[in-house]
Structure formats: C-alpha cells, structure tokens
Amino acid sequence: MFDPLALVIYATPLVVIWLVYVRKRRAQHRASTAVFDDSREAGLLDAPSLHPIINTGTCIGCGSCVAACPEMPGHQVLGMMRRKAVLLSPTDCIGHGACRAACPVDAITLVFGSEQRGVDIPNVKPNFESNVPGIFIAGELGGMGLIRNAIEQGRQAMEAIATKVAGKKVGNARDVVIVGAGPSGIAASLSAKERKLDFVTIEQDSLGGTVASFPRRKLVMTAPATLPLVGKVKFTETTKEALLEFWQKVERSTNLKINYGERLEKVERKGDVFEVRTTKGRYLARAVLLAIGRRGTPRKLGVPGEELPKVTYRLSDPAQYRGMHVLIVGGGDSALESAVTISEQPDTTVTLSYRSASFNRAKRKNRQRLEDAAATGRLTILMESSVTRIDATDVELEQRGAKVSLPNDAIIVNAGGILPTPFLKELGIEVETKFGTR
C-alpha cells in the first residue's frame, strides 16, 4: 500500500543532497567563470609550457583533474564550468601532468602551444640529444617548467653523455660543458661529478636559474626528486628562499664548482670536439649540455646609461630599495608586482613606466593592486612612456612627445627576455613551433 509519509521520509534526504550538489556546482561555475574572464581580459589564455587540452565531449565533469592539480589552490589553473573541466589560467600551468593521470576517462591530452600562439620547442631524442650530435638539451628550454622534471632530465641527459664519451679522450678537451645552473643544470653537474667526468658548469647569472628571478617569498611548487650525490629531495611546496638555500647547501656539501657571471656566446664544431666561447674564455669539450631557461637573456632598453650598476632586470629583495627613487619599466605581471611591492617600503618613491596605453598582459588582481597603490599616492604610473636616457642621479623619459625627467636611484627593467631560438638555430638545432600539439 502506498505510504505518502514514507515517501517524504526517504525522499527528503535525497532532495537535500541534490540541492547541496547543485548549489556547490553553481558556486564552482561562478568562481571558475570569474577566473577565466580575468585570464581572457588580460590576454593570458595561451600557455607558455606544457599544458592540458580537455575533450569536453569525453569529460564527465567529475572534477578529479581539478583536485589533482598540485598548483591549487594557490593558482586556479583548472576549474568547472557547465559541468565540464576547463583550463582557466593557462599561464599558471607548468605541466605537472597530474590532471591527465587523474582523469578516469582519458579526456585530457598534454600539448605545447595553441592554435593562436605557437611555442618553439627544440627537437631532441629520448636521451635528450639534439639533431646535432654531441649537443644535449634538458629542462625548461625543452618546454618543461616543472622542477622535478628538470632535475630528472638533467640527470638522464648526463647519463647519456657519460655513455657517449666513455673511454674516449680527445687531446685536452673536457668531457662536457654544462650551460646553466638551474634545477636541470645542477642535477647534471652533480651527476657529472658523481661519474667523475671532466666538466665545467657556467651560469650567466646566479644559482637557481629561473627560480632565482622570482619575487621574494614567492611559493615555488615542486615535488619529490632524486639528486645525484644527495639522494631523495622531499620538497612538495616551499618558498623561493628555502629552495635556493637548499641549492646553496648542496653546492657547499658536494664541493660543486660553478662559474657564475659567465655567459655563453658561441658553440662551434672543431673536428671531434666543440669550441665553447664565453664572456670569460673558451673551452674544448666532447659534448655540450644546454640547461638554460626559455627566458634567455633579459631584454634591454638600448638607451645611454643602461650599463650603470643601478640598472637591474629582476627584483630580488624589495627592502633594499627603502628610501630610494625607483623606476620600474614594463607592463606585465612581474613589473606590476615589483612596483606594488617596492611601493610598500617606507620613504620610497616608485614610478612605473609602460610604453602602451593599457596593461593588457597583466592579471586583473595585479592591475587592481597597482590602481589601489596609485590611488593612495604610493606610486606614479606613466603610460605610453619610454626611457630615453639614464644618468647617475636621474632618468629621462619621453611620454606622448613630452620630456619627463625624474630623480632616480635605481631602475628595474621587467621587459621580458629574448628567447634563445635564434641561437639554437645558429647551432643547427632543429626547432619546431608547436601549435597545440605534443
């Protein structure tokens, strides 16, 4: 016999659960839509590295990929919109690949570039050797932004190099020249040392590579990895400072020698060896490992006075600019973050100069922080302006045809970097532009 009361008793919990589910889904959709709109408005929908493409026809909307992303919740990389997974913030994705592994229906493919924006990736073999025999590529330059992957690639590349040069010696040539002291270069150097190879490591900047250029206290996502001579490294989430301190301890404890402030200029084949020319000399080597970043060399302004020591190309410690007149040049997220952070220092005057009329390549939250700081008088924004001359105590700019002169103690140029693609092609290395392909 039909019992209406029993139906109500049993159906009520199901209705409640369904309403909670629907409410949660709608909240996810609203939050994800806001992040996606921010990325679209800022023109940041093209990922610079390996990233997921989601087949919406196959996706069942379970959210496993969102939960698996190691960058969450610090970066809202993935989200749910209309009951489907969506890549919300492509520029925050660094190619972990955890989303693909977590997807129960194989709806995710990892690719480089997009239909609108290609990404230059050098062609390398499984052992990381390029089409030029003896020249190897590992780490970020190969499109991998994940620290763990860079470490593993550096180690594996050195294994291949050791096999290639084993039992062979050509005059006074070294076994290998390692270019770069980021995660990949450090791992390769430790592996070379462990294998007792004759090697030299050069680094144009400082220990840590791209990580060293991050703003102070920036969270650096990494994962457990194994370092030669060191063992398993169990970082899962740490700050830039903690990671760099760890690298420094490794450098000291293993007596690893790295030639800092030495920039690679040219590599030429000389018979059975390579001649590697740097800003400080030349080396002969059987093999070369390029473990450099994709950023390459910082883009310079090309104006008189840029060689002055007060001009730098990255922000390391905002506190060092306390009480100074500082000029930031650039319009991307790094420039805006630098300007806002330095403006928080006591008695500091900050001016941000950008050549365009709008910050269309910066995230909304950074634009808002900049506007808030400008509204309180902590900094000044000069749109459609460019630096024309730098002197010891001031700087000259041109804005909409008018000359602007400012007192100045320090300049930080955040104008991006020059990708090393032309250099790779000069070496004869094949570079393929990926448009949303693996």
Q: What is the pLDDT of residues 5-62, one digit of tens each?
A: 766 677 778 877 877 777 888 888 888 888 888 877 777 777 767 789 999 999 999 9
Range of the domain at 392: 311-416
Give the HSE-up count for residue 434: Cα atoms under 13 Å, Cβ half-sphere.
20
Same domain, 74 and 155: no
Structural domain count, the chain: 3
117, 151, 176 - which closes a domain: 117
| pLDDT at residue 428 in the model | 92
3-class state of residue 261 by DSSP: coil
Higher confidence at residue 417 or residue 327? Answer: 327
Among 294, 276, 277, 293, residue whose Cα is nearest residue 285: 276
What interhelical angle do 364-375 and 4-41 show, nearest 10?
70
Q: How far is CA 270 from the centre of its chain?
A: 34
Same domain, 56 and 204: no
132-146 mean pLDDT: 84
* 122 dihedral zone (left: phi>0; alpha: psi -120 to 50; beta): beta
| pLDDT at residue 316 in the model | 76
Same domain, 144 and 293: yes
Q: Which helix (H) or strand (E) holds 55?
A: none
181: in domain: yes
1: in domain: no
115-143 mean pLDDT: 86
Higher confidence at residue 404 or residue 171? Answer: 404
Same domain, 112 and 259: no
Does the pLDDT at position 216 exceed 70? no
Same domain, 268 and 338: no
Beta bridge mates, 387? 397
| pLDDT at residue 251 in the model | 94
384: in domain: yes
Same domain, 323 and 383: yes
Distance CA 241, CA 317 (A): 11
Q: How far is CA 384 from the centre of its chain?
A: 27
3: in domain: no
Residue written as token pair 């092609």: 425
Distance CA 375, CA 84 (A): 40
Same domain, 127 and 260: yes
199: in domain: yes
Does the pLDDT at position 397 exceed 60? yes
| pLDDT at residue 170 in the model | 85
| pLDDT at residue 303 in the model | 96
Beta bridge mates, 432? 121
Does the pLDDT at position 2 exceed 60? no
Same domain, 67 and 209: no
430: in domain: no
426: in domain: no
